[in-house]
Structure 1
Amino acid sequence: MSDAAIATPLTRLVGVRHPLVQTGMGWVAGPRLVSAAAEAGALGILGSATMTVEQLRSSVREVRSRTAAPFGVNLRADAGDAAERVRIIIDEGVRVASFALAPSRELIARLKDAGVIVIPSVGAGRHAEKIAAWGADAVLVQGGEGGGHTGDVATGVLLPQVVDAVDIPVIAAGGFRDGRGLVAALAYGASGIAMGTRFLLTSDSTVPDAVKSRYLAATVKDVTVTTKVDGLPHRMLRTELVGSLERSGRAASLLRALRHAAAFRRETGMGWAEMVRDGLAMRHGKELSWSQVLLAANTPMMLRAAMVDGRTDLGVMAAGQVAGLIDDLPSCAELIERVMAEALATLRALPHTP
């Protein structure tokens, strides 16, 4: 455990030792990874979007059995069962609720009334202003370098815009892996950094070894952005499968989406009516066409094929550009100690004005 510490508004808000966040990646951020990150002093976030309600409650309790440190749960604000998941977060005493999409004013109020810290993700300064006015405690902003669904504005451009727009803690994501990145984010005015790919590539991650090997072998140029998985810009490793998806026609894409929608329904126990409700919410929130809504059913099952089943030939691997710079698999404790030690060394090495 590292004694190196940098106190920020984020660490004081959440009660963690270090201004580091392990993001709530679906199929990846389960109890083992989250508890390891939390125990080492970061804010670990469970990825609940790919869990059933029962699995979420069980996972929260498993994390609690492994560590007394604060942790959070990431969930979709537009999911049909969002209210039920929020109830679990409140009942189980989870410290933080994070959202990939902005929650409603009413949902924020319900969580805050129960003492839960609310940290939505935002993609622009105006979004941050809106969600801060609704009572969010902090915001996470991901630049275009980040893995998974992403935008096209680089972190170095987007982050200062958001920092200047709000007076609540801002967490920077997209392109971070080490202590130098933490110092850079702090210099921009952020209160900490969030890392997904870097935590995925640890020994505490349950991602199969064959998949981790593909990440470790990747260069920066092996990370691409495609809309062929679910109709939205999605940053992932470039593989033969991704190349095949890029070449596939509309009919083949829709047929594949229907097949994966049926598989996701079986996996989660969701009814078709519930899936349609979620699709309507996605269509409204992101102004998607019905074809894109249907394609969105691809994401959970294609990610599962790689992240759970280890099938790099059948699944896709969401990845930040930083994957091309990562070449080892430390434990979460080793990673966090390294990041904090490097951050302090970097700060000490900066030139000082008289």
Structure 2
Amino acid sequence: MEGQKALHTEICDLLHIKYPIIQGGMAWVAEHHLAAAVSEAGGLGIIASASATAEIVRNEVRKVKELTDKPFGVNIMLLNPHAPEVAQVIIEEKVPVVTTGAGNPEKFLKDWKAAGVTIIPVVASVALAKRMERSGADALIAEGCEAGGHIGELTTMALIPQIVDAVSIPVIAAGGIGDGRGLAAVIMLGARGAQVGTRFVVANESIVHDNYKKRVISAKDIDSTVTGRSTGHPVRSLRNNMTRNYLKLEEEGKSFEELELLTLGSLRRAVVEGDITEGSVMAGQIAGLISREQSCKEIMEEMTDEACRVIQKGW
């Protein structure tokens, strides 16, 4: 009972979900099949808008609604040139939740709030967390550098308690969480839920190419690396020929433009085409813990059951 109570947090009530687990907004990965499956399993599924146009996002939203009547959300990458139009789609399609990344969402908050959208920005520092709370965010996703894709500098262990102490709104932890022990740990740090990305990459319902899934499942603990530190845009991926070439060019002091040419379209090549040699196989450090493909329902139930046991009895 103690574990079950600990897992019913303010995030469950805020988002109207059974479990305090949010699926990460992973570009090319988090589309309607995965989002709907996570929501049906009791968490919050997320559609990643990435660089998509407003109409593509609108179509994804409508497809999710055909598959589930449970709450879901859309992640807006604010560097997307179509972000203003996507922000309007959130309102027009009555999307319950929006998460944001890669920028400051303040200019959209007033309209979203007026439309009753629950707003959860992704932050990687205490300063940004405080600013988002002042701007009217309903909750925050605090993401440590263990995560896959674009990352900050602080680890989840260091970041979560500092942000929890700095704000009064609920904090959702992200980065390096892939099982029930991780979920229990971040709740003990003061988070009220967890965002999970890499483990959902290998879900049965994930449309990711089998080559990508197998690479994640076969990953060892030291198999991820970070490229792009020299450009100010660090990205965590699994090591391959592309990351080796990128790091070599960084060491040689190549320009941002030259480095960008190497990665142009590389995530799509990995996710859609299955090119795990020259594509960008984004995954978090937790990949070394992931050993099999499961349904979203199995993932959610396994994580929450384990978290309850850990909270109630310890090891």
| TM-score, scaled to structure 1 | 0.83
Cα deviation, residue 232, structure 1: 2.0
Aligned to 1:164: 165
Does 1:75 pair with 2:76?
A: yes
Does 1:318 pair with 2:282?
A: yes
Provide closer, same or farther for how the CA distance between residues 5 and 16 of structure 1 changes in structure 2, counting only shifts above 3 A: farther
Aligned to 2:156: 155
Aligned to 2:272: 308
Contact 2:249–2:259, Cα closer than 8 Å, also in 1: no
Q: Aligned ranges for residues 248-263 of structure 1 at < 5 Å? A: 248=249
Provide closer, same or farther for how the CA distance between residues 187 and 111 of structure 1 changes in structure 2, counting only shifts above 3 A: same
AA matched with 2:290: I
CA distance in 2, matches of 1:297, 1:246: 14
Aligned to 1:343: 307
Give the 3-state SS of the residue equivalent to 2:7 in structure 1. coil
Does 1:328 pair with 2:266?
A: no
1:103-146 per-position Cα deviation (integer Å, ceiling 9, x unaligned)? 34331111011000110011111111111001000110111111
Aligned to 1:128: 129
Contact 2:209–2:272, Cα closer than 8 Å, also in 1: yes
Give the 3-state SS of the residue equivalent to 1:119 in structure 2. strand
CA distance in 2, matches of 1:42, 1:300: 33
CA distance in 1, matches of 2:230, 2:201: 21
AA matched with 2:130: E
Does 1:184 pair with 2:176?
A: no
Does 1:221 pair with 2:185?
A: no
Identity %: 39
Provide closer, same or farther for how the CA distance between residues 123 and 14 of structure 1 changes in structure 2, counting only shifts above 3 A: same
AA matched with 1:309: E
Cα deviation, residue 227, structure 1: 1.5
Give the 3-state SS of the residue equivalent to 1:235 in structure 2. strand
Of the structure 1 ranges 59-68 and 307-316, higher mean CA displacement relative to structure 2 is found in: 307-316
Give the 3-state SS of the residue equivalent to 2:80 in structure 1. coil
Provide closer, same or farther for how the CA distance between residues 106 and 226 of structure 1 changes in structure 2, counting only shifts above 3 A: closer
Provide closer, same or farther for how the CA distance between residues 5 and 330 of structure 1 changes in structure 2, counting only shifts above 3 A: farther
Cα RMSD of the aligned pairs, angstroms, is 2.3
Specify every segment of 5 or more residues in structure 1 that has no aligned partner in the other structure, as ranges: 254-290
Does 1:195 pair with 2:196?
A: yes
Provide closer, same or farther for how the CA distance between residues 300 and 133 of structure 1 changes in structure 2, counting only shifts above 3 A: farther
Cα deviation, residue 81, structure 1: 2.4
Q: Aligned ranges for residues 93-108 of structure 1 at < 5 Å? A: 93-108=94-109
Q: State how many pairs are aligned.
A: 312
1:246-287 per-position Cα deviation (integer Å, ceiling 9, x unaligned)? 22379996xxxxxxxxxxxxxxxxxxxxxxxxxxxxxxxxxx
AA matched with 1:58: N
CA distance in 1, matches of 2:6, 2:296: 16
Provide closer, same or farther for how the CA distance between residues 230 and 214 of structure 1 changes in structure 2, counting only shifts above 3 A: farther
CA distance in 2, matches of 1:305, 1:229: 24
Contact 2:53–2:86, Cα closer than 8 Å, also in 1: no
The higher radius of gyration belongs to 1
Aligned to 1:257: none
Give the 3-state SS of the residue equivalent to 1:236 in structure 2. strand
Of the structure 1 ranges 56-65 and 95-104, higher mean CA displacement relative to structure 2 is found in: 95-104
Aligned to 1:261: none
CA distance in 1, matches of 2:81, 2:285: 32
Cα deviation, residue 6, structure 1: 2.4
Give the 3-state SS of the residue equivalent to 1:177 in structure 2. coil
Provide closer, same or farther for how the CA distance between residues 167 and 119 of structure 1 changes in structure 2, counting only shifts above 3 A: same
CA distance in 2, matches of 1:236, 1:230: 16
CA distance in 2, matches of 1:106, 1:231: 24
Give the 3-state SS of the residue equivalent to 2:74 in structure 1. strand
CA distance in 1, matches of 2:99, 2:179: 23
Give the 3-state SS of the residue equivalent to 1:33 in structure 2. helix
Specify every segment of 5 or more residues in structure 2 that has no aligned partner in the other structure, as ranges: none
1:143-190 per-position Cα deviation (integer Å, ceiling 9, x unaligned)? 111111112211110110000010001000011011111111111110
CA distance in 1, matches of 2:188, 2:32: 32
Aligned to 2:246: 245
Cα deviation, residue 18, structure 1: 0.5
AA matched with 1:96: V
Aligned to 1:141: 142
CA distance in 2, matches of 1:29, 1:192: 19
CA distance in 1, matches of 2:9, 2:66: 28
